[in-house]
Structure 1
Amino acid sequence: MGRIARVCCLCLPVFYLLSTGVFGPAALAAEEPNKALKYHAILQKRPEPGYVFDRFYNTWLDQASAESLQTFLQTRIEAEDSTPNRLLLAFFHSKQNDDAAAIDEFAEALKRDPDSASGWYYKARAESRTLDFESAAADLQEARRRNPDPKLAVSIERLLGTMLMRSQRTAEALAVWKALLDAHPADEELFEDVIELHLEESLFDEAAALSERLIAMTKDPYVAIMRRLRLGDVHHRAG
């Protein structure tokens, strides 16, 4: 058998496997979403946006389309209309910058689980992105009444203050942030976060007063110096 004939004989099985999809692009594409399903299984137990959902979303899109992911999530709801399945579809819509669709899914999830503090919080976040600050504030009020865990409770109060500010309810916003800091009087990181929230709303006098409180509780000399420099910047911005 000649050299060319031998090469052809060796290649024919490979061409056959590729043409039948055993090792072809279609097979590889089908395999990748299976990897994404590992993240989906985790999200079923703890549905929330963030690192795991981003891994699920990005791993799926590495080998398949956003349309196929949406179809998959909708099919899951058709099979079991549960709160986790609704939340995951809502997170998908948020990733696609379709906050109106996300809000609809959050609302459906809350019909089934109205005591979900996280559901109310995520719905409020989506509403804030549509500039519906009053609805977001109302939903955050619902969230805080649902006994959120301590970490979520802090996030709720931070966002609630911002939504009240954007709704021109300054006194209420300041009261929310004050109560938050009063509940965590030694949390320096939280103080810094709330100071930044005040600065974002151009509340320079209030931010300066909080900065002075933070400096007074600071034990590290270097950190205290840096915070004094920041206080000077706040005064400069106030004019």
Structure 2
Amino acid sequence: MRGVSWERFQELMINATLETLYMVMLAALFTVLLGLPAGVLLFLTRKDGILPNRGVALLLNSVVNIGRALPFVILLIALIPFTRLIVGTTLGSTAAIVPITLGAFPFFARIVENALDEVDRGRIEAVESMGGSHWHIVSRVLLPEALPALVAGITLTIVMLIGFSAMAGVVGGGGLGDLAIRYGYQRFDNNLMAGTVIVLLLLVQLIQKLGDRLVRSLAHRR
């Protein structure tokens, strides 16, 4: 089957790339907003945490473990009714943000917990001995000390979100994944298929490079 014209190719690739960036950036924002407090609570409420709470820790661990265990394609389909309830539709890039966020935030929450676990316990004990509140420990010690690891985790999460956004094309989520399926696969347009792969690879490389540079900068300041 004959492929699209060069002008049409450019138009499709630009629009799909912008849709992918829109999905990934908003999903990254919501993932951090959900995953950061969840990860902090995972760290604080576990058995050896500064606010041990078995019930909360068990609930959070269950949510995180289930969310990480479910294949994203299955989650996409399972969340169709919820997505329709939240957004009003299951098609398009805006609708895809819902399952992408819910699929990613458990992963990021665990990254946050592991990052906080690397903070020197002596610093936490020093603030506690001076009468610092739990909020002071989190805001003045845990998050600042773990910042390079958190930024590295955000970078890793955004790279994963790019892959999720491509898979969202299976259910009409828009973006490069949807373009690859509708034109590259269904219409046998190898040029568009190759184009989407190349753009996705470039996006991943760019995000990773920027993230690594920021992590090195933060580590150097420390």
TM-score (norm 2): 0.23
Q: Which has the larger radius of gyration?
A: 1
The higher-RCO structure (CA 8 Å, 6+ apart) is: 2
